[in-house]
Structure 1
Amino acid sequence: MERLAVEPRPDWRERAEKIGFAFHTINGEPYWCEDAAYSFTPAQIDELDDAAQRLEDMCLELVDGIIQRGDYAPFHLTDTAIALIEQSWQRQDKNLYGRFDLAWNGTGAPKLLEYNADTPTALYEASVVQWEWLDSFCNHCDQFNGIHETLIEAWKHFGLWGHRVHFTCVRDHEEDFGTAEYLRDTAIQAGLDTDRLYIDEIGWNGKRFVDLAARPITVLFKLYPWEWLLQEEFAANIQSSGIRMIEPAWKMLFSTKAILPLLWQAWPDHENLLPASFDRAAIRGSCMAKPFWGREGAGISRLSETGATLDSVPVQGDPAPELRIYQQAIDMPCFDGFYPVLGVWVVASRACGLGIREDRSPITRNTSRFVPHLFE
């Protein structure tokens, strides 16, 4: 694994916008970056692929046991949430996508930092944008990137023929809108009927959810976190409406960082896991304190015996800010002053691609750079 210095294409902004990637710049600084690329060997790509697939299989096994036992105490869920989880699992509602964030320098075993299982972004750049870059950068290189094809194939197996799939997100958020539109495009390519609306445009007619044309919403892809949704009046009608949600409600058990200590309890000393606990005293030395709910590095602190040594931004919309898990701190890999996090994508529970975010801080934030990769 190497970090290569690369000459950016002079027209990279125009190229990005031509393929629909409008959010390539954040606060005047490049978010999509072509001045570097990470290079892997084929064996290293296989290691990342295998690690993510193992972790996905472990999560599914863990969640099945939790639901079978009714052991929801570690998650601090409401009765409404539990009922939705059990209903969606019993119906065998399919899940679409997620991203395992791994720490790795190319040797040893990749370590799981967290699983973004409900509303992960950075998908379009991982699937389409970095592939377009590779096509013009190196005609004999390859990339761990079957995301686009796997998404299209996954939609074909959701059993949605005859339904209109509505796609929703918050308004005035360019990245969320771009991600939802990309996923809608893959559904269209799979042959599905689709529509889009903002989440505040979803209506209720007393029996079912409806769109702006008063048509029933029977299937809803929501780029909106379950923990936010459950705090709204919307949630009271989900179960009675019969609406099918993507991601399904059972994915709530993945989308909280409570899954990290539970994985460690089930598979202690597993090569792809870091020690994690609900109890700070159970983790020796320095550790990362992480909120149950939080994205893009929000709310994470590095704790030593004397207290916090590194903090990130607060969590927005956290329903329980006092809840934390503790994960053993590791020295993050550093290349040329940048700390990469390797995001391995799973679609329909199948590992299929890699996207890399890097920052000058060990904690990846929503402003961290996206950098392409290759192998040969």
Structure 2
Amino acid sequence: MQRIALTPRTDWQQRVEAVGMNYHTLDGDAYWDESACYRFTTNQIDVLDDATAELHGLCLKAVQAIIDRNLFKQLLIPDWAVPYIVDSWERRAPSVYGRFDLAWDGSGQPKLLEYNADTPTALLEAGVVQWFWLRDCFPDADQFNSIHEKLLGFWQHYRQRQPSLHFAGVDTSDEDSGNLEYLRDTAVQAGLQTQRLAIDQIGWDAGKQRFVDLRNNPIRALFKLYPWEWLLHEEFGPYLPQARPAMLEPPWKLLLSNKGILPILWELFTDHPNLLPANFADQPLLGNYVRKPLYSREGANIQIRRGSSVVETDGSYGGAAYIYQRHTPLPDFAGNFPVIGSWIIAGQPAGIGIREDKTEITGNNSRFIPHYFVEN
């Protein structure tokens, strides 16, 4: 794994906008950053592919263990939502996607930092934008990237059970809107009928006990780029088990989308080469560790403790519910610290996207860096 400095394409802004990415610059700084790229070998890509498939399998086993051992309170899941979650698992409600965030320098085994199982973003960047960059800049190389094809395959299969789908998210976020519209576009390409609305435009028809859109049409299936833990606490959240629209991501993904899955995975699969030691707050780790809130996003409220040194971020996710994970250093490329986001689409490894920052805590504005690989 190498970091290579590059000269950006002269018209890179127009090129990424042409494929749907209008949030390439955040707060005046480049978010899409092609002044560098990462180079892998085929063997290294095979390691990432295998690790992603392995972690996906471990997570599915962990869902069953949480249900069997009734660990819902440990994950701060309200009692009324438990039957709803369990039912979705027992029905094997389908899941579109997830993203494992990995620490890896190209040698040994990748280590799981966290699993973005419910509302992962950076999908458009990984699936489309870096693919067109590759064609322009390294046309003879390859890329670990079958995201677009696997999304189309998922929707084509999903269409057999549900031909229409509403897409909802937070319209005030350009990044969320871009990712949501990309997902909707792939569904349209696969033949689904779709409608787009903001999450706060979802209505409840008390008389017919169903969710409706702005035209009062029933919402029978909903893709929501909106966290399950927020959705359950919305005013209409308790109505979800009554109306039971088909949901993507499904309710059982809530068991995987909070940091509590990390100590559960470690307890179930201690010393697994792709996992890091992790405990709940009542069993703090000795030595160097990272403290993470059970529910947090975009690097908020993270604390890294190495001996007497402490690095932390602020945010709105603080409180008493934390987990502790053994600190593993990220690769350091001249002060750039990359995290590999490895995608699972329809249960299959589908490619990677790399975010990097000048610190070891990846945040909302951390840069997206493209990649390619060559034969060994």
* Corresponding position: 1:369 with 2:370: no
For residues 1-376 of structure 1, what are the structure 2 equivalents within 5 Å? Answer: 1-161=1-161, 163-206=163-206, 207-279=209-281, 282-304=284-306, 309-315=310-316, 318=317, 321-376=319-374
**Counterparts of 1:145 and 1:152 in 2: how far apart (Å)?**
13
Deviation at 1:163? 3.8
Residues 132-178 of structure 1, C-alpha deviations (whole Å, 9 max, x = no match): 00000012100000000001101122255554200000121111011
Kept in 1, the 8 Å contact 2:16–2:24? The answer is: yes
**Counterparts of 1:34 and 1:280 in 2: how far apart (Å)?**
43
- The structure-2 alpha-carbon separation of the partners of 1:280 and 1:68, relative to structure 1 and needing over 3 Å to count, comes to closer
Deviation at 1:65? 2.4
Kept in 2, the 8 Å contact 1:37–1:372? The answer is: yes
- For structure 1, the residue ranges without an aligned partner over 5 or more in a row are none
Q: One-letter code of the match for 1:366?
A: N
Q: One-letter code of the match for 1:374?
A: Y
Deviation at 1:282? 4.7
- Aligned residue for 1:272, secondary structure, equals coil
- For structure 2, the residue ranges without an aligned partner over 5 or more in a row are none
C-alpha RMSD over aligned residues: 1.4
Structure 1 stretches of 4+ moved >6 Å: none
Q: One-letter code of the match for 1:149?
A: E
Deviation at 1:281? 5.2
Deviation at 1:321? 2.6
Q: One-letter code of the match for 2:62?
A: L
Q: One-letter code of the match for 2:323?
A: I
- Aligned residue for 1:87, secondary structure, equals helix
- Aligned residue for 1:363, secondary structure, equals coil
Kept in 1, the 8 Å contact 2:145–2:352? The answer is: yes
Residues 29-75 of structure 1, C-alpha deviations (whole Å, 9 max, x = no match): 10001110000000000001110110000000111222234332321
Question: Sequence identity, in percent?
Answer: 49
**Counterparts of 1:296 and 1:72 in 2: how far apart (Å)?**
24
TM-score by length of 1: 0.96
**Counterparts of 1:113 and 1:162 in 2: how far apart (Å)?**
34
Kept in 1, the 8 Å contact 2:162–2:221? The answer is: no
Kept in 1, the 8 Å contact 2:159–2:192? The answer is: no
TM-score by length of 2: 0.96
